[in-house]
């Protein structure tokens, strides 16, 4: 069962514009959400996180929004840069060590 879903396998945006990556989850017990970024031939690297007691967390150009009632979170990147081109994974956990990942969205930022 896919508890964390990223329904868009790919996204292409122009440099300087906003990138919005979406993620949906089914388990209402998830209380911590993370975004990871992955370049080819490398392991994922942590980008930003949010706990279920918040609805927004910002870190520079990256903002994560959480809508608990809709079981939806999104990652906004503003402004997008070519170096942001990577695969982005959404992940969620339930106060334990079992983190569930989405299938990833490949972001391409065109110069």
Partner 1 sequence: NAGVTQTPKFRILKIGQSMTLQCTQDMNHNYMYWYRQDPGMGLKLIYYSVGAGITDKGEVPNGYNVSRSTTEDFPLRLELAAPSQTSVYFCASDSSYNEQFFGPGTRLTVL
Nearer to partner 1, 84 or 89 (CB): 89
Residues that bind partner 1 (CB under 8 A): 4, 6, 9, 32, 34, 36, 41-46, 49, 89, 91, 93, 95-104
Nearer to partner 1, 69 or 97 (CB): 97
Nearer to partner 1, 14 or 45 (CB): 45
Query: What DSSP state is assigned to residue 104?
Result: -
Q: In Å, how far from its chain's centre is CA 56?
A: 13
The distance of closest approach from Cβ of residue 70 to partner 1 in the complex, given in angstroms and rounded to an integer, is 20
Label residue 61 left, alpha or beta by phi (over 0 means left) and psi (-120 to 50 means alpha). alpha
Query: What DSSP state is assigned to residue 83?
Result: G
């Amino acid at each position: 069962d896919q508890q964390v879903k990223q329904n868009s396998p790919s996204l292409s945006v122009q440099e300087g514009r906003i990138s919005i990556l979406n993620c949906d989850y089914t388990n209402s017990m998830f209380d911590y959400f993370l975004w990871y970024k992955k370049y080819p031939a490398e392991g994922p690297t942590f980008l930003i996180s949010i706990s279920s007691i918040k609805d927004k967390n910002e870190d520079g150009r990256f903002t994560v929004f959480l809508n608990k009632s809709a079981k939806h979170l999104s990652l906004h990147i503003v402004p997008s840069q070519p170096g942001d081109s990577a695969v982005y994974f959404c992940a969620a956990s339930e106060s334990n060590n079992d983190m569930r990942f989405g299938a990833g969205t490949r972001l391409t930022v065109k110069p």
